[in-house]
Amino acid sequence: MKIFGDEKLAGQATRHIITGGLADLADIGFFNVFLLFIPDVFAKAFSFLVAVCIKYFGNKYWAFKKPETIEIRKEIVIFLLATAVGLAINLLSFSFFVNINTGFSVNLWRQISVIFAMGVTAIWNFLSYKFIVFKK
């Protein structure tokens, strides 16, 4: 059964999750490096932007298989706008989670908060990329 054109939704979702997972690993790694030099919210913002580059290419060419370059400038602008909303969601989620008193050490809970923020953001990213940015 085909859903949403030639691609099955489950296949797109799986490839999106894998792409996002790789980008999230980069997000975590860069967050920890940046954290050595700048405050946590700024470190999170910069690590998120590194992950954005990975997400654009992975989602465009693999998850949603939209290699067309017609109106690529428009596509990039829409992607960046959707991603900017994702950044806001990511930072708000991170700020929310990191400020919960859990009893964990501050450093451990900060890392867990990064992961939670990525999960919340992943939902927005899939929906906006699927139905807005890379729709066919």
Percentage of the residues of the chain whose pLDDT score is greater than 90: 51
What pTM was computed for the model? 0.70
CA distance 101 to 134: 39
Q: Give the contacts of 133 (CB within 8 A, at least 6 positions apart).
A: 59, 75, 78, 79, 82
Percentage of the residues of the chain whose pLDDT score is greater than 70: 95
Contact 64, 7 (CB under 8 A): yes
CA–CA distances in Å: residue 4 to residues 75, 130, 131: 19, 10, 10
User: What is the residue extent of each domain of the chain?
Assistant: 9-133
Mean pLDDT of 106-114: 88
101: confidence class by pLDDT, cuts 50, 70, 90: confident
